[in-house]
């Protein structure tokens, strides 16, 4: 019988908790803009805990809900649950614990974050069912990550400024776009299994063009964000860097060759979020 510790490690590996890096820098960007500089370290700490725990709950829930689907897909059949390396009961308990941690951390920030925390949790958990309901499940995943900067703004200010929604929309398109690309790998399986996705609905070639359009929209929204907040050349340089990395991402994968999809999906997107935060942070802090 697996020990509690061994199962926890296996769960963290299954959900790839280190990929929290995708949305976390955008949440920190929202916090930085809300504070006009570095927020208090206590606030930052609770924001980070909220982000990591919410994502961990959502990813574990997704693996739990999709266990049978993963078992039928050659690409995912060796994941921990379908492979029998983890028990569904343990993973379900992990979801409950991470959800409780998220709600508790939200309650340490301010009243509005606590009131909205169940809504945010519902959004990130609901994504797991979207591929059964709509071809635009990628947009729901984008929303799940896109609410991070707006949530971080609320965590700092206790209220919402509509300007930060430009970053929410940018992250939504960014995540939605790369999830469309990633789903192209499962085109044949999704059609056989009756699952919905943009590639399944429109074909792989069209899906690539839709992803490209979403990423162009992301860059436009980032420029608008800089205008709205009166940021300067450093932040704009960050947008240029992001645009260049997105272009490279689209150059290394194609409908005919998806062998480098993992590099585009995991490595480049992690770099994009970190670099954008660094450029915006440098711009904001330089002006202080």
Per-residue model confidence as pLDDT tens digits over 94-117: 899 999 999 999 999 999 999 999
Identify the DSSP state of 40.
P
Rounded Cα gap, residues 176 and 178, in angstroms: 6
Residue pLDDT, tens place only, 271-288: 898 999 999 999 998 876
Alpha-carbon dihedral of residues 64, 70, 76, 80, nearest 10 degrees?
40
Q: CATH topology for 4-286?
A: Tetracycline Repressor; domain 2 (1.10.357)
- The model's pLDDT over 184-219, given as tens digits with 9 standing for 90+, comes to 887 777 777 777 888 888 888 999 999 999 999 999
What distance in Å separates the CA atoms of residue 15 and residue 91, rounded to the nearest whole number? 10
Q: Residue 1 has what pLDDT?
A: 45
pTM over 0.85: yes
Name the DSSP class of 110: -
Nearest to 80 by CA among 16, 19, 124: 16
User: Is residue 16 exposed (0-12), middle (13-18) or buried (19+ Cβ within 10 Å)?
Assistant: exposed
Percent of the chain with pLDDT over 90: 48
**Confidence band of 30 (pLDDT split at 50, 70, 90):** very high
Determine the Cα–Cα distance for residues 167 and 169; give it in Å rounded to an integer.
5
Q: Are 149 and 164 in contact (CB under 8 A)?
A: yes
CB 172 within 8 A of CB 143: yes
The predicted pLDDT at position 109 comes to: 94
Mean pLDDT estimate for the chain = 86
Q: Alpha-carbon distance 206 to 239, whole Å?
A: 26
- Return the structure tokens found at 60: 């574990």
The residues with which 254 forms a beta bridge, in sequence order, are 257
């Amino acid at each position: 019988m697996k020990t509690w510790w061994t199962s926890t490690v296996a769960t963290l590996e299954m959900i790839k908790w280190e990929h929290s890096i995708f949305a976390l820098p955008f949440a920190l960007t929202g916090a930085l803009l809300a504070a006009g500089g570095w927020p208090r370290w206590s606030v930052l700490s609770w924001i980070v805990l909220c982000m990591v725990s919410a994502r961990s709950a959502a990813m574990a829930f997704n693996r739990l809900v999709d266990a049978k689907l993963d078992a039928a897909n050659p690409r995912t059949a060796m994941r921990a649950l379908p492979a029998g390396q983890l028990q569904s009961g343990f993973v379900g308990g992990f979801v409950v614990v991470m959800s409780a941690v998220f709600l508790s951390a939200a309650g340490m920030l301010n009243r509005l974050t606590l009131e909205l925390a169940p809504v945010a949790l519902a959004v990130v958990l609901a994504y797991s069912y979207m591929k059964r309901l709509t071809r635009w499940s990628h947009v729901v995943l984008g929303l799940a990550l896109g609410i991070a900067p707006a949530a971080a703004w609320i965590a700092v200010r206790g209220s919402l400024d509509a300007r930060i929604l430009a970053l929410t929309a940018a992250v939504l398109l960014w995540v939605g776009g790369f999830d469309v690309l990633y789903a192209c790998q499962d085109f044949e399986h999704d059609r056989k299994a009756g699952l919905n996705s943009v590639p399944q609905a429109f074909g792989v070639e069209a899906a690539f063009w839709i992803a490209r359009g979403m990423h162009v929209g992301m860059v436009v929204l980032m420029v608008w964000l800089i205008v709205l907040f009166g940021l300067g050349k450093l932040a704009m340089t960050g947008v240029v860097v992001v645009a260049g990395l997105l272009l490279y991402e689209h150059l290394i994968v194609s409908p005919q060759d998806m062998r480098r999809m993992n590099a585009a999906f995991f490595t480049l997107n992690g770099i994009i979020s970190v670099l954008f935060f660094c450029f915006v942070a440098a711009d904001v802090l330089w002006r202080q």
